[in-house]
């Protein structure tokens, strides 16, 4: 499942996303962090704008990235999905290096986890359409799916 995140919203770089996923975000760094400081959120991977891949959760363990969700009639997507966060925001294009890293990691995951197929790769907006919009209109699904 593909997501996007930036902290503060629309700002890239820095350590805030990593701190958030590690549960130690410093609320004094930005006023918006007060709203998320008590949330327990994690992702398997985070792909920075420069293509760097940061792993937070083992692929065989549950990450808390989907929230209230349903995929093809099955609820609680955290129980059976892999969450990949792209450093970004819905309306800003993702970098070429991010697509390159996302394609690379997706191909590797597909070799290991045979249930992952093009038809089962989705965005956060697909499994929680009433509350999520990511990875957003700027994510080029055709480019990504053609590359894997």
Contact 134, 4 (CB under 8 A): yes
Residue 131: burial class (beta carbons within 10 Å; 0-12, 13-18, 19+): exposed
93 is catalytic: no
Cα–Cα dist 99/135, whole Å: 12
Residue tagged active-site, from 85, 87, 93, 137 = 85
Is the peptide bond preceding residue 135 cis, with omega within 30 degrees of 0?
A: yes
Q: Is 85 helix (H, G, I), strand (E, B) or coil?
A: strand
Contact 49, 13 (CB under 8 A): yes
Active site residues: 85
């Amino acid at each position: 499942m593909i997501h996007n995140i930036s902290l503060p919203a629309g700002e890239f770089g820095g350590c805030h996303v990593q701190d958030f996923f590690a549960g130690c975000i410093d609320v004094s760094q930005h006023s918006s962090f007060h709203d998320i400081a008590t949330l327990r959120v994690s992702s398997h991977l985070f792909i920075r704008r420069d293509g760097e891949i940061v792993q937070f959760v083992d692929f065989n363990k549950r990450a808390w990235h989907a929230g209230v969700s349903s995929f093809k009639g099955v609820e609680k997507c955290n129980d059976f999905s892999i969450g990949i966060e792209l450093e970004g925001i819905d309306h800003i294009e993702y970098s070429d290096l991010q697509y390159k890293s996302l394609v690379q990691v997706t191909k590797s995951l597909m070799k290991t986890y045979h249930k992952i197929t093009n038809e089962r790769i989705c965005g956060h907006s697909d499994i929680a359409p009433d509350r999520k919009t990511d990875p957003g209109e700027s994510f080029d699904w055709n480019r990504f799916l053609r590359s894997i």
